[in-house]
Amino acid sequence: MKILVPVKRVVDYNVKVRVKPDASDVDLANVKMSMNPFDEIAVEEAVRLKEAGIATEVVAVSAGVANCQETLRTAMAIGADRGILIQTDVELQPLAVAKLLQAVCAKEQPQLVLCGKQAIDDDANQTGQMLAGLMGWPQATFASKLVVAGQQATVTREIDGGLETIEVVLPAVVSTDLRLNEPRYATLPNIMKAKRKPLETTTPAALGVDVAPRLKTLKAAEPPKRTAGIKVADAADLVLKLKTEAKVI
């Protein structure tokens, strides 16, 4: 069984982003970039399925600027077998990414696509569901447990109110939630080994996909900031202030 893992290069989760002075967009110049944390979880899960003898090959794919190669190398250092870069400088929106992945799926014929539930930059939480829709495949989003057996996957999903377990027929798209696993750290030997793994580069044009953005960002702004309030002395003081000043209890 082949597993395809889409990995996105995003602003590192420790970075607090700023808006450009002209308010046109987010300022991403010189900020630290990393693999989307949910995608690390997806790569880890795919590699574990390979180690368990269930998957035969793990292919990482990333769409975006040339530097997404680094993200693919990180995926290969965790254990992906090869990488595919769909190189473009166009701002990619989820529908475009889903169509690119659809084209890659048509070529690669994976039985399972394991992606992140959301990218922590744009927080769209769409790509996996869109891909599943385009392929006519079932989807199991927000997975906290995944069991693959034969032509089926059993997935426990984190939903409002608790957990839900569903069974989907393969091929399918599964998106990862935080508690699916704890990704390993890539070791130095594996980082070195990853440099020699195959990395193929293609383009949206070669895949025949129109990636023109559908949404136009008119403005990006920083939300009104909260300011620190006051320190209270003790529990009694706190209750008094909440009752008489804030009037919330």
Partner 1 sequence: MAILVIAEHDDSSIKAATLNAVTAATKLGGEVHLLVAGSNCAAAAAAAARISGVGKVLLADAPHYADQSPENVAALLVSIAGAYSHLLAAATTRGKNCMPRVAALLDVAQISEISGVESADTFVRPIYAGNVVATVQSADPVKVITVRATAFEAAGEGGSAAIESLPAGPDLGLSRLLGRELTKSERPELTAAKVIVSGGRGMANGENFHRLLEPLADKLGAALGASRAAVDAGFVPNDYQVGQTGKIVAPQLYIAVGISGAIQHLAGMKDSKIIVAINKDAEAPIFQVADYGLVADLFEVLPALQAELG
Ligand X SMILES: Cc1cc2nc3c(=O)[nH]c(=O)nc-3n(C[C@H](O)[C@H](O)[C@H](O)COP(=O)(O)OP(=O)(O)OC[C@H]3O[C@@H](n4cnc5c(N)ncnc54)[C@H](O)[C@@H]3O)c2cc1C
For residue 193, the minimal CB distance to partner 1 (Å) is 30
Q: Is 38 in the site for ligand X (CB under 6 A)?
A: yes
Peptide bond between residue 21 and the one before it cis (omega within 30 degrees of 0): no
- State which residue, 58 or 207, has the beta carbon closest to partner 1: 207
> With respect to partner 1, which residue has the nearer C-beta, 29 or 188?
29
From 3, 4, 7, 211, residue interacting with ligand X (rule: CB under 6 A): 7
230: CB partners within 8 A, 6+ apart: none
Among 124, 134, 170, 191, binds ligand X (CB under 6 A): 124
CB 7 within 8 A of CB 35: yes
Cα(209)–Cα(202) distance, integer angstroms: 12
* Largest separation between any pair of C-alpha atoms in the chain: 68
Tell me if 143 sits within 8 A of 164, measured CB to CB.
Answer: no
- Mark 51-80 with x for binding to ligand X (rule: CB under 6 A) and - for no binding: ----------xxxx----------------
28 binds, among ligand X, partner 1, none (CB under 5 to 8 A by kind): ligand X
- What minimum distance in Å lies between the beta carbon of 189 and ligand X? 26
Distance CA 117, CA 51 (A): 23
CA angle 40, 45, 50 (to 5 degrees): 125
Q: Look at residue 115 and give the partner it binds from partner 1, ligand X, none, a contact being a CB closer than 5 to 8 Å depending on partner kind.
A: ligand X
Which residue's CB comes closest to ligand X?
A: 116
Phi, psi (degrees; rounded to nearest 5) at 80: -65, 145
Q: Which does 7 bind (CB under 5 to 8 A by kind): partner 1, ligand X, none?
A: ligand X
Q: Determine if 91 is a binding residue for ligand X (CB under 6 A).
A: yes
